[in-house]
Amino acid sequence: MDQSKISTENLESFNDTLLTLLECPICTEFMSPPIFQCKNGHKLCAECKPLLTECPSCKEKNLDSRNFVAEELAEKLMYPCVNVDAGCQIKIQLNSMAKHSAVCPHRLHNCLESSCKWQGRTQEMLEHLKGTHNMAWMTAANPHLYYDNFDLSTDFEEHDAIDAFEELFLFHFKRDATKRRLFVAVQYVGSEEAAMNYRYQVFILSADGAKWVDFVSSTHKDTVSFEEIMNSKKCLCVDFEVIEDLLDTDLNLKFKINLSDLKNSAIINTDM
């Protein structure tokens, strides 16, 4: 056996040992550059330094030196994701952290309602949307899903939650009077890879059900905004000429959505 070979586990525990050397003695977070020290070499993180008038270890007043060895070490080591307490197991170098944080499945989400200040994790989001905003209509049978008074001369937007397969999906609907187009998209809230495991199908139907437009796609990842999805035309995107043909005389727009869990061959739809 090759004794000189270092296993991944050993490397990881070596990384973690080195990382503990970069723990700030005040806030106990792992420090990232700039890393400061007192004149005698006691380390301090950049967040704690402005709060101190003297070194907590030796009472030295001059805390302005940088520790470049610690900074270089910090750039080489693998840090736990900032969402480690929320369950993220990823360890990553600091220069890749921002890129990961933006797509981390355990990151904080803003509420669907733009005026709401709530922020929370995926698991708490459905509870919030249901409790505070009375969202999530997909859970119950709703055979008569339609928009009434569908006036094509004005803009209209609706965002809602879909509670299906014990997962959270976001439903986006926009009538854009300037572009003269209707857009519908369904996003999966969670990891980017898992969005591929679900498929949505939208039908826009005439009142008698004789004519319709339909669209099918994998659910969109929630790291891309609805705005970007619309611009890329990767969602349902129908010209008003077609919509005019489907509206009944009372301007009712009838529609239907199917959502499929591809891995478990399960399907949920609005007219169950």
Residues that bind Zn ion (CB under 5 A): 24, 26-27, 38, 40, 42, 45, 48, 55, 57-58, 60, 81, 83, 88, 90, 104, 111, 113, 116, 118, 132
In the complex, the smallest distance separating the C-beta of residue 137 from Zn ion, rounded to whole angstroms, is 16
Instruction: Please identify, using beta-carbon distances, which residue of 5 and 117 lies nearer to Zn ion.
Output: 117
In the complex, the smallest distance separating the C-beta of residue 252 from Zn ion, rounded to whole angstroms, is 29
SS3 of 147, please?
strand
Distance, in Å, from the CA atom of 50 to the CA atom of 26, rounded to the nearest integer, reads: 12
Instruction: Please identify, using beta-carbon distances, which residue of 48 and 204 lies nearer to Zn ion.
Output: 48
In the complex, the smallest distance separating the C-beta of residue 55 from Zn ion, rounded to whole angstroms, is 3
DSSP string for 150-204: --TTS-EEEEEEEEETTEEEEEEEEEETTTTEEEEEEEE-S-TTGGGGEEEEEEE
In the complex, the smallest distance separating the C-beta of residue 42 from Zn ion, rounded to whole angstroms, is 3
Residues constituting the chain = 272
CB atoms inside a 10 Å sphere around CB 263: 11
Residue in the block written with tokens 């099918």: 216
SS3 of 221, please?
strand
Instruction: Please identify, using beta-carbon distances, which residue of 163 and 236 lies nearer to Zn ion.
Output: 163
In the complex, the smallest distance separating the C-beta of residue 32 from Zn ion, rounded to whole angstroms, is 11
Cβ partners under 8 Å of residue 31, min gap 6: 22, 23, 24, 43, 45, 46, 70, 74
In the complex, the smallest distance separating the C-beta of residue 249 from Zn ion, rounded to whole angstroms, is 37
Instruction: Please identify, using beta-carbon distances, which residue of 58 and 216 lies nearer to Zn ion.
Output: 58
DSSP class of 268: E
Instruction: Please identify, using beta-carbon distances, which residue of 21 and 272 lies nearer to Zn ion.
Output: 21
Instruction: Please identify, using beta-carbon distances, which residue of 107 and 175 lies nearer to Zn ion.
Output: 107
Q: How far is CA 132 from the centre of its chain?
A: 20
